[in-house]
Amino acid sequence: MIDISADISGVHFDSCIMNASGPLDTTLEELTDIATSSAGGIVMKSCTVEVREGNPEPRYVDVEWGSINSMGLPNLGYKYYNEITPKLKSYGKPLIASIAGAESQEYKKIVESFNTSNVDILEINLSCPNVVGRPQIGYDFEMSEEIMGVVGDVSDKPWGVKLPPYFDFVHFEEMASILNNSKISFIVSINSIGNALFIDWETEKVLIKPKGGFGGLGGKYIKPTALANVRKFHELLDKSIKIVGVGGVYSGIDAFEFILSGATLLQLGTSFAQEGPQIFERVTRELKAIMEKKGYKSLEDFRGKLKVMN
Ligand code: SIN
């Protein structure tokens, strides 16, 4: 029997594979499709204090090896995601609320509201690259630390932060030091790579409307960067802080590589948007087949055990 279960702060996931906050997780109907799939947990769209329409369309386009998006956090507001938790919890899977904001008091208000809900875990999104005029919080270390301090003071639930990709070892070290001194249980790494640009050479036009065509890059393009972030944080973070790997997981091989790099759980974003809820069953089957071939019975048998060259 091959076991791909995982735990975060006492919350048990029968499967380590679930959706990423972002695509197809805004309404109860979409979330029910995730709840009734083979996903190991249900992650809701990042919610804000106010309902947001998001950016003008077109704002998501599939491209050859992934996607570009500038959704701008369209969501139905935190009250909606509080209200639907009893229905979603009835499917018996861990339920994760994702929270976004412009400043610490907004995060505080939403975190407090979820304290009295039956959400299991909170994901604090510090990395949306698509809100016009607003920088990605995860690149502002001071503000990230402030928000983590406020959330740590008020949250009764296990919580973690969703981070943007980092590219420089000094930045990894700086963020890791903040994370190691916070009350987080996990990180989600990585959000899309911000402000990419795709061009249709025939029409000589950008592919998406918001921000002059700039948007977050997802899918196969970002897997090497995502793996590097998972690996680096695995090296730098206290072992009590779990890593949720995201970025270009399309197959069992991808999933295997993320766990080998140190991930405990995996989230699927662009690949889920492109393939739909059946992807969770396929990637699960493929991951188990690899583990069986290698003689691994649980994720612990190979988690983080990536070999390097001497
Ligand atoms: C968006 O809604 O713009 C995408 C969400 C995110 O990048 O966090």
pLDDT digits (tens, 9 = 90+) for 82-104: 999 999 999 999 999 999 999 99
165 lines ligand 1 (CB under 6 A): no
Q: According to the model, what pLDDT value does residue 250 have?
A: 99
- CA 45 to centroid of ligand 1, rounded, Å: 9
The confidence score (pLDDT) of residue 248 equals 98
pLDDT score of 240: 98
Q: Which of 6, 35, 128, 226 is catalytic?
A: 128
Per-residue model confidence as pLDDT tens digits over 20-59: 999 999 999 999 999 999 999 999 999 999 999 999 999 9
Using the atom order of ligand 1, give the atom closest to the CA of residue 55. 3
The mean pLDDT of the chain is: 98
Nearest in space to 190 (alpha carbons), one of 304, 44, 21: 21
Instruction: List Cβ neighbours of 67 (8 Å cut-off, separation of 6 or more).
Output: 60, 61, 217, 218, 219, 270, 273, 274
Per-residue model confidence (pLDDT) at position 104? 97
Q: Estimate the crossing angle of helix 141-154 against helix 104-115, to 10 degrees.
A: 30
> For residues 259 and 299, is the Cβ–Cβ distance under 8 A?
yes
Torsion of CA 68, 161, 249, 278, to 10 degrees: -90
State which ligand 1 atom lies nearest to the alpha carbon of 125. 8
The per-residue pLDDT for 3 is: 98
Residues 251-276, mean pLDDT to the nearest whole number: 99
46 touches ligand 1 (CB under 6 Å): yes
Task: Give residue 121's identity as a one-letter amino acid code.
Answer: I
Q: Which atom of ligand 1 is nearest to the CA of 59?
A: 3
Q: Is 128 a catalytic residue?
A: yes
Q: How confident is the model at residue 105 (pLDDT cuts 50, 70, 90)?
A: very high
Question: Does any ligand 1 atom lie closer than 6 A to the CB of residue 130?
Answer: yes
User: What mean pLDDT comes out for the span 2-31?
Assistant: 98
pLDDT (mean) for 1-19:
98
What is the model's pTM? 0.98
- 143-188 tens-digit pLDDT: 999 999 999 999 999 999 999 999 999 999 999 999 999 999 999 9
